[in-house]
Structure 1
């Protein structure tokens, strides 16, 4: 048989490189890059000194990938930088959290079909004349309401633009809670879980007057999901979905919520009924 002209040692060397490449890719695919927002994501993602320090969703992500199959690399970015590195594909095989209407990652991410938990919005207030449940925007007429700068409050945008309510923009949860507790503003609109956490940890004094007004008729409850890099295969999303179902059934997701929010907080983790 005639020799192909390629020295056998080159064939062996080329095969070795191919094997190294395949092994390297397999190892890279097992490393999960978990994207974390540096600021204002407490208690979902807690960051101190630019380092990840847990949080509800961070702990859930670690629980999802617990075991030998995957390793999780927590990477912290300011929100605008995070969007940029994803858009420019400067990070690979990432996961993050997302809501359907946020569109944080554009066409670069796909959401896992199984949600983590549901969110609900409340109006935190010390005013006794505000009803326990807000059912229409007209009930807010003339109110000065604290809102986090740069956040999307959906239905309230038109009320602000039309002069129905006045927005009091703030950059820190603690500042907003203090304004409400001191009676310097009429209320603070935000996710209940975020407000519960910051009321518990902020150290703001004299919060006995605080009332938690149901705001779900104005900003409907919505679920949070895990979003993954489009380069992950479909089987990866299926794996995450099954792990979420397993952790929910075992009570682990609820235990994580209780750790940060207290046992008196009752999120919709089962999604069987509306909140």
Structure 2
């Protein structure tokens, strides 16, 4: 080896040393990653995340993450952060993983994404006896639809206008249901998973008064995402293999079914 180094140019020797150091550093980095921190945005709601004195770190997304990471040897913790700070920390350090959809993210290729593990659907909820049948945005023209204030609904945005759909904003799903029950709205636009959870756990809202219109108005796919350049590239492959196993053996469906 010494003889070889004697006849190599100095620049090549330095390159070899630097590369070896990089390999050692990367290996050491990978070896240190035995835990990961999920950030929870303030906008996230049950049953995706359930945060409280008696239910810290629970909900669909944390349950799926734990089921994926457990056999891979990782421990998982979570931290609740304002949305912008969470994304900044995900990119620059401090948190490691988040759950979202590529469709909702500006320039999604800034991050590493796993394969999808659950759908996220916006659906219409109407009164139980209403004849509403959603076949496309035009089928809502002339109607009043309650929405969450500040939320964007891509499939309908171009139809919220005079002569189209009248948008009525409300601060929460419960407030939207009240508008619907009082006849102030013809339908409300809700997240399927969230409304299933609300109607299952809030019997005081009298779920029998409402009906979910089955065709989704909008659809996206939840994935886990990691920052680039911080050693998580191999982990994404491990996540994907584990998610495929969970889909095949039914364990992923079993987690999702607990919240329906």
What's the TM-score once normalised by structure 1's chain length?
A: 0.75
Alpha-carbon contact 2:173-2:190 (below 8 Å) kept: no
8 Å contact kept, 1:60–1:253: yes
Determine if contact 1:109/1:227 at 8 Å carries over to the other structure: yes
Report the Cα offset of residue 158 of structure 1: 0.8
- For 1:184-223, what aligned pairs fall within 5 Å after superposition? 184-216=184-216, 218-219=217-218, 221-223=219-221
Name the CA distance, whole Å, in 2 between partners of 1:187 and 1:108.
37
The structure 1 residue matched to 2:60, chosen from 43, 56, 60, is: 56
Structure 1 unaligned blocks of 5 or more: 1-20, 262-275
Q: Secondary structure at the match of 2:168?
A: strand
| Structure 2 segments unaligned to the other structure (5+ residues) | 1-24
Answer whether contact 1:144 1:185 (CA < 8 A) is retained: yes
Instruction: Say if 2:238 is the partner of 1:259.
Output: no
Are the equivalent residues in 2 in contact too, given 1:36–1:77 (CA < 8 A)?
yes
Tell me if structure 1 keeps the 8 A contact 2:64–2:252.
yes
Task: Determine if the alignment matches structure 1 residue 116 to structure 2 residue 117.
Answer: yes
Partner of 2:103: 101
8 Å contact from structure 2 (residues 226, 232) kept in 1: no
In 2, Cα distance between the equivalents of 1:201 and 1:156? 29
What is the match of residue 40 of structure 2? 36
Question: How high is the TM-score relative to the length of structure 2?
Answer: 0.79
Count residues in correspondence: 235
Structure 1 match to 2:148 = 148
| Partner SS state of residue 213, structure 1 | strand
Q: Are the counterparts in 1 of residues 41 and 82 from structure 2 also a CA contact under 8 Å?
A: yes
Match of 1:260, SS? coil
1:155 and 1:41, CA in 2 relative to 1: closer, same or farther beyond 3 A?
same
Q: What is the distance in 2 between the residues matched to 1:163 and 1:46?
A: 40
Q: Quick check: which one's helix share is greater?
A: 2
223-232 vs 97-106, which deviates more? 97-106
Q: Deviations over 1:103-161 (max 9, x none)?
A: 1685542211x210223332101063433x41122221222212122322102111114
How many angstroms does 1:183 deviate by? 2.9
**Deviation by residue 1:157-179 (Cα, 9 ceiling, x = unmatched):** 11114551122222222222232
